[in-house]
Structure 1
């Protein structure tokens, strides 16, 4: 029973990470209708920013996560504005090739900055596990990951269903031309989508 609970929580934790990754990826695809191959590389940048903040600057774990979200959000908006926005009316092949190019650029830039050697990443979660879970060998990181995923999903559901920007995103996802005729700023909406998706990538990293 102990082993089953341990594997169950670990599986939910890993699935929560994949869910956070998928949320950011599908937001961009659902609204901008493009496959953002650079999303995985934004996750990598987020992880490195958090690593540098904790290892080199000595910042607390929660500060490194916030810093990672800020950096990745800015990076996502820059990528969208510089690489994808000029191709808004281009064919899918041009957007696909550009996305692959951005991905390669981020990979090689990261290798030049941080090298290719593995990095030791200390845990950002330091609080003790409750006693009734500790006997099942459940780690604090797994608990935080699951709770963070649930909070993010609930927040996104509220954002897309209740806020003005969230409704604008749903409208752009359905029909960009009709949304623009209704007064929605499509370019700003897509940029906001990339910003949120990149922030989620940073959390996943």
Structure 2
């Protein structure tokens, strides 16, 4: 592998890792507040891709208008999932919420399977995203460069919300003791709804980016991607937004580079990501930016 190909694969891995990171942030924020692995989160990513697709084809909306509406509706869907499925179980054992999360995931997958069919659909994004550009001698597509830039901007925005606003302070407080924030006059359900809205919005953006980069969508597209995003959150240290971003970058980079270095093993590319996760957790079980106080979680 020459140096040009190496750097080109690095950027490809960064782009893929950015998509994982956008979804992983939602996992890690919900876990930080509720100690809940929201398995329905990856399916919200699928919903974002489908809503954007049908906004263009069924209503004739321009791509960017359709994408914005899809992203906003994903945020609303995240709040509705919390209100309908999780709020009634706030005081229930955590296993009940976990089973409910799996049920919501299956519900969304089967709902879209019934409504739109299981046949994969081609996501025809504007040709602008697939145009090749020369970037310091590297031949890259526009979407490969756009995804990491947007992901980093969104990370800065999320961190700004968490550390520069009163709502962010309440979110971080809920990560340490959600029962105590009510004593401070904070509506815990509203704060958690905000967390679901932020995470689901990012998932919708990640889903649209993924559909542009790998232009085929189907109701089960979120299953494997969600597992990888969850692995990225664990790798970075679940409960840490920055850790989720780093974990996503590392996972995407390792997946792409493993295939580039060993092309004959390309059929096992999904296994490389989880193998790397296992190797890291063997030496640091709490993840790269995890907190040793396992009963606590931080952003």
Q: TM-score, normalised by structure 1?
A: 0.94
Does residue 18 in structure 1 map to residue 20 in structure 2?
Answer: yes
Q: 19-28 or 82-91, which moves further after superposition?
A: 19-28
- Give the aligned partner of residue 37 of structure 1: 39
- Give the aligned partner of residue 174 of structure 1: 176
In structure 2, what is the Cα distance between the partners aligned to 1:72 and 1:28?
15
- Kept in 2, the 8 Å contact 1:125–1:141? The answer is no
Gaps of 5+ in 1: none
Equivalences for residues 18-97 of structure 1 within 5 A: 18-97=20-99
Q: 69-78 or 58-67, which moves further after superposition?
A: 58-67
User: How many aligned residue pairs are there?
Assistant: 205
In structure 2, what is the Cα distance between the partners aligned to 1:58 and 1:148?
26
- Kept in 1, the 8 Å contact 2:133–2:140? The answer is no
In the TM superposition, what is the alpha-carbon distance from 1:41 to its structure 2 partner?
A: 0.7
Gaps of 5+ in 2: 208-299
Q: Tell me which of the two structures has the higher relative contact order, counting C-alpha pairs closer than 8 angstroms and 6 or more residues apart.
A: 1
- Kept in 1, the 8 Å contact 2:132–2:140? The answer is no
Deviation digits for residues 127-153 of structure 1, max 9, x if unmatched? 686954184221100111011110011
3-state SS of paired residue (1:82) = helix
Deviation digits for residues 81-115 of structure 1, max 9, x if unmatched? 01100000000111111111111100100101110
Does residue 147 in structure 1 map to residue 168 in structure 2?
Answer: no
Q: 1:70 to 1:10 in 2, by over 3 A?
A: same
Whose strand proportion is higher, 1 or 2? 2
Does residue 117 in structure 1 map to residue 119 in structure 2?
Answer: yes
Q: 1:91 to 1:128 in 2, by over 3 A?
A: closer
Does residue 100 in structure 1 map to residue 115 in structure 2?
Answer: no
Q: 1:160 to 1:50 in 2, by over 3 A?
A: same
In the TM superposition, what is the alpha-carbon distance from 1:2 to its structure 2 partner?
A: 2.7
In structure 2, what is the Cα distance between the partners aligned to 1:55 and 1:143?
26
- Give the aligned partner of residue 5 of structure 1: 7
